[in-house]
Structure 1
Amino acid sequence: MSEREILSQYVYKMVASLIQNGVKDVVISPGSRSTPLAYAFASTKKIKTYRQVDERSAAFFALGIAKAKGRPVVLLCTSGTAAANYYPAIVEAKYARIPLIVITADRPHELREVGAPQAINQIRLYGEQVKWSVEFPIPDEAPQTLPFIERHIVRGVTIAKTCPFGPVHFNVPFREPLLIDFQEELVEGNFKSSFTGQLVPSKAATDMFTATINETMKGFVIIGELALGTDLQQLWSFIRKLKWPVLIESLSNMRGNVPDDCEQYIISTYDAILKNKAFKEKVIPDTVIRFGAQPVSKFLSIFLTESMPKNYIVIDEDPMFRDSTAVSTHFIHANIGSWLKDLQIENTIDFGYFAEWQKAEKIARKHIQCYTEVETDEGAIVRNIIENLPNKSDLFVSSSMPIRDIDTFLLPTEKDLQVFANRGANGIDGVMSTALGFSQGRNDREMFLLIGDLAFLHDVNALIATRYQQCRITVIVLNNDGGGIFSYLSQSTVEQYYEDLFGTPTALQFEEVAKMYDMEYVQIKDLNEFGKFLDSEREKPLRLVEIFTDRGQNVTAHRNLWQRISEELEQ
């Protein structure tokens, strides 16, 4: 065979193996060395191709698609610093447990470390941030080459989607010439499929779990952000059976579409009520059970470390279970599944203890529901946004203050509202890109992004993706001219350096950005205007809503709310 025929067979074998193992989406950034694979993906009808010229943004875009669809997404780029630009999103994918198949094209071995252009050391480039990394062979006629490719792709995809989900890396070197012969039909590989199993706890684990529950009079459940594909009905069934207070984070997506018979158990205002010392002393638990990641709330973490419950049971699909508080006493390695239904649970919870949680929740909800401080306060704005979002909406939320305000002001609702964020590494980078990618995977729902001005600026290149594929999203920018969260932290007390190092005002507004990307733009100055805007006829698929707020007023208003809740808790 000619070199071109060998290369063509090689890249189409890669694409066929990926498709055969359930991959349906690929995000491609332009570059010369990745040409053979880019052609193979683009010419294959069984895989959907997305484009983004900025590799850093492309990686978060792919992460968003994978987060929305709950299955691996391929990333493809050329060699050199293009591959390095994937790094932030790969870090997020690892800690957020998102399956990505990262393919970096590379120079051949003879061009490495000899001063060749766009040639860096890409072997294990991402270190421990990926679950697995492999160097592919140069395309050749050796009989072992194609079977190697096929089986290593099976291994990589399987590893990416085995609990805990995460990224894997294929480094693929190519020699020139880089053109291929296009093929209309893919040849199915000899390796047919790879099956993985569900993680079910052992009998010893369920016996311990059941016995602990049945011996507990004072306990509560924490539900944080859950693994992709979690069956929420299994948790609702468990809550009905257990009848304990359940502290539900907004990212669990169990505050929306709440079953009527479970609403009484939900504690959604825990961050506010756990600021009160007297209340905390009344609800010290014997047992805490946690599903999912540790919630955003700092005050919940403080309460756990102060109360040191006798039993703190973490259920996690990763043996490297998450426990930043160092309070856990038991770990169960398992998925959330039907095994929860089989537990023989007796209702032993102390009614007076439960009543304290319910009373505090009622007080906090009352204050939050009637919360309107000033027009430029982000808390009141976020509450108004939540109330006006239509049914069947997805809300992607930036880290920093937006996610904290959502966690405070999103109360349990019958509305089908789901909330998502990049909380693996908790960064503000890549938020726009992730949200745009997420919108591609959930195009049957209305998509919104809530983001601050600095996070928006940090990732404004994300909007380049809207020039290459259809996107439909409403971006809501809370513009407080800087880093709002630092106003709540001790850094704000050092006035001499605060604005230069932490406040970092830019004095920028974003109407011209909206024009650049053909977005419908509106500036909201009154709380009632947002609802009217949503009720009006949509002019364009892309919308940018800019709301100006004041950092100083935000802090005062939030603290006033917490103070009012605390004062009533002590009555």
Structure 2
Amino acid sequence: MNPATALALVLADELDRCGVRDLVLAPGSRSAPLAQAFRALSRGPDQPPRLHVHVDERAAGFMALGIARVTARPVVTLCTSGTAVANLHPAVLEAHHARLPLIVLTADRPPELRDTGASQTTDQIKIYGSAVRLFAEVGTPEIRADSNAYWRSLACQAVAAAASGPVHLNLALREPLTFDPPENWPQVFPGRPGRLPWVHTGDRPAGASSPVGPDTPEVAFPGAARGVVVVGDGPADSAAAVALAEGMGWPLLAEPQSNARYGSSAISCYTHLMAHPATRSLLQPEEIVCVGRPGLSRQLLALLRSGVPLTVVDAHLPWADPSRSASRRLRCVPRPVRRRPDPAWLGLWTAADRVAGAALDRALDASPLTEPRLARDLLAALPDDAVCVLGSSMPIRDVEATMRARRGPRLVANRGLAGIDGTVSTAVGAALAHRAAGGGRAFALLGDLTLLHDLTGLVGVSRREHPDLTIIVVNNRGGGIFSLVDSTRNADAFEELFGTPHTVAIEHLAIATGWRYALASGAADLPGLLRLPGPAIIEVRTERAANVGLRRSLDAAVADALDDWIVRVGHRPASTDPPPALP
């Protein structure tokens, strides 16, 4: 057995023992022994890991992230040397900022071929810089007495380190690269008895986040009468945040991808409430607890900067505090303080939320299938057992502004760096992982430029895996978000520099890549089209200029309704007033 085969077999076996359930690889010659070891492992007995193959390394990386977001378990990505390694960099950066468990295995040339002009050879040592939690130059494999312990121990370290972000193992492989495992290799390179990992690193599942919730010690904190709980991206335990808000009688302001916008404390229209000066003043809290990484709306970030005592909950370093306003950091969500909540405080928020929501619905119901209406109607129509990936440009912002509180669909978004790259591949990975876990159908709400940034995500869908994924594409033929950004919307040569109009026919893309296609002409079409089996693309055509006008009219309609409500409520202390009557 050659050393490359030995290393491949041992790493594959130990990663399996450590709980890795998904392996994503892109084809390559230098990485061939590992690819074949992974394939052999995936065909073994007793629930073997799932093997996913993608033709493009960049898309493979984002597919792995989609799987990691849904499963919260470490996902291995394998590639060959050279530019293949660089193409994984965007996914590594997203995993770094979103703290996703990604283990990157990169094949490399042995030291004697480096810096010689050898083909497909570049400096891969620490190529991802400080974005990885652990880097190891594994070294050219040799069959020695201590090799088995070294390789197995390193695999355990990689899985443990990936609990808080990406890990990179660089594997320098010498020829021969043929895969030639003898039948007795497990006896030559044995693992621990009972299929246990080489190193036991704790009782939690591999890749699980730090413990949060009922099993954690109670953490004392001031617990003001008028507080709010804010939940952003990637909370370790959204249910604990919901329980805190309900136990304290505080409103819950949860970004959609936090999957915490549900329960009796959930407020749906917080961006509109915080954008209305009189309402914002009336609803000013005395304390804020922030779980996860917020960053979708200026209104929510402004609330965090308002000078109110802020506690951030984050088990990781550096902790998430984008406003630099935190006065306290906790590693886990605190339990509610044992006291009687103030019903008037939550009642005031709930009443304002209903006023804003009713005004928003009236305006949206009177509109055609616009981008905000699509976001609202789609999130209302999703089955409870669905997963839905949201594009990081306008789709997730429209969902934040219009989605009503509900529990059921799992929402996913790449908000680590909030980029649009690789979103189709993320959706494919999320769909595959969701189905493997016994979940229902998968959906994605993307903009047209987000789709065009990841066309290989469409191409990489294989007949073998065939995800039941329906992508709803908002096609406004360009960068719609730039029409709403102060620094770009009034710029000279807007269309040339920011609008970037295109003439791509989405229907032709779908046909060329083997996806079903349908055009939604109006709001009434959407429910029926969502039943279209995947992989499928539903196109919704909108106009950028009209959407700008619509969003302004929505803001004005909500503001007028809140103006009327404020007149009735007045600015009396909320703690002594009964909840205001609804109009």
TM-score (norm 1): 0.90
Quick one: which of 513, 525, 530 aligns to 1:529?
525
Q: Provide the residue aligned with 1:239 in structure 2.
A: 245
Q: Provide the residue aligned with 1:194 in structure 2.
A: 201
Quick one: which of 507, 511, 515 aligns to 2:507?
511
CA contact (8 A) 1:26 1:49 kept: yes
Q: Provide the residue aligned with 1:463 in structure 2.
A: 458
Does residue 568 of structure 2 align to residue 561 of structure 1? no
Change (3 A) 1:317 1:532: same
Change (3 A) 1:184 1:457: farther
Q: Provide the residue aligned with 2:226 in structure 1.
A: 218
The residue matched to 1:570 in structure 2 has which SS?
helix
CA contact (8 A) 2:241 2:260 kept: no
For the residues of structure 1 that align with 2:89 and 2:563, how far apart are their CA atoms?
Answer: 49
Residues 158-192 of structure 1: CA deviation (Å, up to 9, x unaligned): 1112xxx2110000001111102135687342425
Change (3 A) 1:119 1:207: closer
What amino acid sits opposite 1:490 in the alignment? D
CA contact (8 A) 1:376 1:554 kept: no
Change (3 A) 1:36 1:96: same
The residue matched to 1:139 in structure 2 has which SS?
coil
For the residues of structure 2 that align with 1:381 and 1:267, how far apart are their CA atoms?
Answer: 20
Change (3 A) 1:238 1:303: closer
Q: Provide the residue aligned with 2:289 in structure 1.
A: 289
Alpha-carbon shift at residue 115 of structure 1 (Å): 0.8
What amino acid sits opposite 1:226 in the alignment? G
Q: Provide the residue aligned with 1:325 in structure 2.
A: 323
Alpha-carbon shift at residue 490 of structure 1 (Å): 1.7
Residues 291-350 of structure 1: CA deviation (Å, up to 9, x unaligned): 122141211112332x210x211111113111111111111123x4xx62xx5421354x
Change (3 A) 1:493 1:24: closer
For the residues of structure 2 that align with 1:386 and 1:328, how far apart are their CA atoms?
Answer: 32
The residue matched to 1:326 in structure 2 has which SS?
coil
Residues 453-490 of structure 1: CA deviation (Å, up to 9, x unaligned): 00000001101221253221001100000011111112
Residues 125-150 of structure 1: CA deviation (Å, up to 9, x unaligned): 11111111001121213322222111
Residues 420-454 of structure 1: CA deviation (Å, up to 9, x unaligned): 10000000001000000111100121100100000
**Aligned positions of 1:25-174 closer than 5 A:** 25-44=22-41, 45=43, 46-161=48-163, 165-174=164-173
For the residues of structure 2 that align with 1:533 and 1:274, how far apart are their CA atoms?
Answer: 35
What amino acid sits opposite 2:540 in the alignment? I
Change (3 A) 1:412 1:39: same
CA contact (8 A) 2:226 2:287 kept: yes
Change (3 A) 1:226 1:345: farther
Q: Provide the residue aligned with 1:280 in structure 2.
A: 280
The residue matched to 1:515 in structure 2 has which SS?
helix
The range that moved more, 484-493 or 324-333, is: 484-493
For the residues of structure 1 that align with 2:260 and 2:360, how far apart are their CA atoms?
Answer: 19
For the residues of structure 1 that align with 2:184 and 2:345, how far apart are their CA atoms?
Answer: 65
CA contact (8 A) 1:43 1:182 kept: no
Alpha-carbon shift at residue 240 of structure 1 (Å): 3.0
The range that moved more, 95-104 or 218-227, is: 218-227
**Aligned positions of 1:259-278 closer than 5 A:** 262-263=263-264, 265-278=265-278
**Aligned positions of 1:372-391 closer than 5 A:** 372-375=365-368, 377-391=370-384
**Aligned positions of 1:172-183 closer than 5 A:** 172-182=171-181
Change (3 A) 1:24 1:413: closer
Alpha-carbon shift at residue 388 of structure 1 (Å): 2.7
Unmatched runs of 5 consecutive residues or more in structure 1: none
For the residues of structure 1 that align with 2:555 and 2:458, how far apart are their CA atoms?
Answer: 37
Alpha-carbon shift at residue 496 of structure 1 (Å): 2.6
Residues 248-289 of structure 1: CA deviation (Å, up to 9, x unaligned): 22112123xx4xxx42x2212111111111111112222111
The residue matched to 2:275 in structure 1 has which SS?
coil
For the residues of structure 1 that align with 2:296 and 2:527, how far apart are their CA atoms?
Answer: 28
For the residues of structure 1 that align with 2:3 and 2:431, how far apart are their CA atoms?
Answer: 38
What amino acid sits opposite 1:467 in the alignment? S
Unmatched runs of 5 consecutive residues or more in structure 2: 193-197, 205-209, 565-583
CA contact (8 A) 1:482 1:504 kept: yes
CA contact (8 A) 2:275 2:299 kept: yes
Alpha-carbon shift at residue 403 of structure 1 (Å): 0.2
The residue matched to 2:539 in structure 1 has which SS?
strand
CA contact (8 A) 1:287 1:312 kept: yes
Q: Provide the residue aligned with 1:545 in structure 2.
A: 538
**Aligned positions of 1:264-413 closer than 5 A:** 265-305=265-305, 307-309=306-308, 311-334=309-332, 336=333, 340=335, 344-347=337-340, 349=342, 351-370=343-362, 371-375=364-368, 377-413=370-406
Quick one: which of 429, 438, 445 aligns to 1:437?
429
User: Percent of pairs identical after alignment?
Assistant: 32
Change (3 A) 1:428 1:186: farther
Alpha-carbon shift at residue 217 of structure 1 (Å): 2.8
Provide the aligned C-alpha RMSD in A: 2.1
CA contact (8 A) 1:373 1:557 kept: no
What amino acid sits opposite 2:226 in the alignment? K
Change (3 A) 1:352 1:387: closer
Q: Provide the residue aligned with 2:254 in structure 1.
A: 248
For the residues of structure 2 that align with 1:128 and 1:373, how far apart are their CA atoms?
Answer: 50
What amino acid sits opposite 1:111 in the alignment? L
CA contact (8 A) 1:451 1:476 kept: yes
Quick one: which of 385, 395, 409 aligns to 1:417?
409
Q: Provide the residue aligned with 2:11 in structure 1.
A: 14
What amino acid sits opposite 2:129 in the alignment? G
Change (3 A) 1:410 1:186: farther
Quick one: which of 2, 5, 12 aligns to 1:5?
2
TM-score (norm 2): 0.88
For the residues of structure 1 that align with 2:219 and 2:291, how far apart are their CA atoms?
Answer: 18
CA contact (8 A) 2:235 2:291 kept: no
